[in-house]
A and B are shown apart, each in its own frame.
Chain A
Amino acid sequence: MKIAISADSSNLGAKVAHRFGASEYLLIIDVDSGYFEAVPNPANIRQHGAGVQAIVLAVGKGAKAVLTGYCNPAIANQLGANGIEVLTGITGTARDAVEQYKEGRLERLSSRQAQLRSATAIGDKAVLIHAVRSAARQFVTLLPVLIGVVLLIGLFDMFVSEEMLTSIFSGNVALDTLWGACFGSIFAGNPINSYVIGGELLKYGVSLFAVTAFIVTWVTVGLVQMPAEIAAFGKRFALLRNGLSFALAIPVTILTVVILSLVERWIS
């Protein structure tokens, strides 16, 4: 069975390094045969992602346990997920650590286990805080345009009459779909805005064909975003993708509405 020890030099007399992932060497030791291998840390120790490379190394070499001074909770979780036991709080030389491990003394040290457990608990809490923060950020970036859209709909309610809308959306399936797709193609925005605009248009008696085409093209086709898309992927890709998406929006819309009405009829 193999174990990995973070160490400051390449022999068994090396001191166990304090941080897993940021040590000069990783000693891979076969505790049964005593055979060992010193692998220099592939990453510059100050480099971002050094921890990940150390994980890959430990997993790749078939280590079943990692002995180190300290291991950050995210890395400990990753190692745990790969079936590697993490023992922290280890000091002294690598040779002593191997002996203690063989005698099972490391596991018996309850304080170490407690430390390990608390590290995992801190990890979970950190993950939760991180998730709340990103959710808050995503939610907040959603708001400005959404508020703008809702404010515009208020104006729309006041100044646009049903007659004005029916002069554009006449109820003709083909034309309604086409017009809806055209309006939706101007921007490539967050889908939530298309739901709100589409939902309000429905209340005005605009057909579901027009609204669906609008929703479908809102995300998938974007004239305003075209320059950025061309810059990223080239003219041909951008034109092709937007053109094909626009063309496909028509059958997708018609199929959606037809299937919906068939299923609704079948249910009732």
Chain B
Amino acid sequence: MSNSSRQRSITRRIFRGMALFPVITLAVYGIIAVIMPDKALLAIKSSVNIFFNMLIPLSMIFVLMLLINLFVKPARVAKFLGKGSGIKGIALSAAAGIISTGPIYAWYPLLKDLREKGAGDSSIAIFLYNRAVKPFLLPVMVAYFGWLYVVILTILTVLASVAIGYSVGIFMKAEQA
């Protein structure tokens, strides 16, 4: 099986797993609707309300995803990982984490592979931490918390990732010694 079709089948499996969650939630709604229909109606109304408020940020997310796909090719970010040394290596691992998309489960096999091929523990840790920074999700984050908060938290997250990568690297080396 080629890499891309394997990736697709993993994505499909994860998607099915994730789809369980809203289905179960809807089942809970069903039960509540039987016991207290008025409350279920109010609950669904407030859900719909939240969803409507998110429509604009969500559509902006789609546009940003499209632009990122056009210009940075997320599927190829793995190439950056573990390349280069010193500050360049850190920056490349962080950038790979930031641009990476898709659920974390889809990334474990690839990361494991890269680690076996010599990508350092620090690089993997930096990559995983920077998955918290997602440029295409900014519209939703800004809508809820404002620009200032987003900028401060993003900068601190990237700095923290470096600290995590550095410490994980040191502790892992200490064990091998």
Chain B residue nearest in CB terms to A139: B62
The smallest beta-carbon distance between B76 and chain A, in angstroms, is: 12
A192 to B51 alpha-carbon distance, docked (Å): 13
Chain B residue nearest in CB terms to A132: B66
A136 to B15 alpha-carbon distance, docked (Å): 13
Cβ of A48 within 8 Å of any chain B Cβ, yes or no, is yes
Q: Is there an interface contact between A232 and B109, defined as CB atoms closer than 8 Å? A: yes
Q: Is there an interface contact between B153 and A240, defined as CB atoms closer than 8 Å? A: no
The smallest beta-carbon distance between A195 and chain B, in angstroms, is: 5
Partner of A232 from B15, B102, B111, B131 at Cβ < 8 Å: B111
B69 / chain A contacts, CB cutoff of 8 Å: 130-132, 134-135, 138
The smallest beta-carbon distance between A128 and chain B, in angstroms, is: 7
Q: Is there an interface contact between B108 and A228, defined as CB atoms closer than 8 Å? A: yes
Partner of A237 from B25, B160, B168 at Cβ < 8 Å: B168
Q: Is there an interface contact between A131 and B22, defined as CB atoms closer than 8 Å? A: no
Q: Is there an interface contact between A155 and B29, defined as CB atoms closer than 8 Å? A: yes
The smallest beta-carbon distance between A215 and chain B, in angstroms, is: 7
Cβ of A83 within 8 Å of any chain B Cβ, yes or no, is no
For window 212-232 of A, CB contacts with B under 8 Å fall at 212, 215-216, 218-220, 222, 225, 228-229, 231-232
For window 185-200 of A, CB contacts with B under 8 Å fall at 188, 190-192, 195-196, 198-200
Count A-side interface residues using an 8 Å CB cutoff. Answer: 65
Cβ of A175 within 8 Å of any chain B Cβ, yes or no, is no
Q: Is there an interface contact between A141 and B47, defined as CB atoms closer than 8 Å? A: no
A232 / chain B contacts, CB cutoff of 8 Å: 108-109, 111-112
Q: Is there an interface contact between B43 and A256, defined as CB atoms closer than 8 Å? A: no
A46 / chain B contacts, CB cutoff of 8 Å: none
B54 / chain A contacts, CB cutoff of 8 Å: 150, 196
Q: Is there an interface contact between A158 and B42, defined as CB atoms closer than 8 Å? A: yes
Q: Is there an interface contact between A228 and B105, defined as CB atoms closer than 8 Å? A: yes
A136 / chain B contacts, CB cutoff of 8 Å: 62
In the complex, 16 of the A-B residue pairs with CB atoms within 8 angstroms, ordered by the A residue number, are A48-B2, A134-B65, A139-B61, A139-B65, A141-B103, A145-B18, A150-B50, A151-B26, A154-B46, A190-B103, A212-B153, A236-B175, A245-B129, A248-B160, A248-B163, A259-B156
Write the residues of chain B forming the contact surface with A, with a CB cutoff of 8 angstroms: 2, 11, 14-15, 18-19, 21-22, 24-26, 28-29, 32, 39, 42-48, 50-51, 54, 61-62, 65-66, 69-70, 74-75, 101-105, 108-109, 111-112, 115, 121, 124-125, 128-129, 131-132, 134, 137, 140-141, 143-145, 148-149, 152-153, 156-157, 160, 163-164, 167-168, 171-172, 175
Q: Nearest 8 A-B pairs (CB), nearest first? A: A154-B47, A199-B144, A148-B22, A131-B69, A219-B132, A148-B21, A154-B43, A135-B65
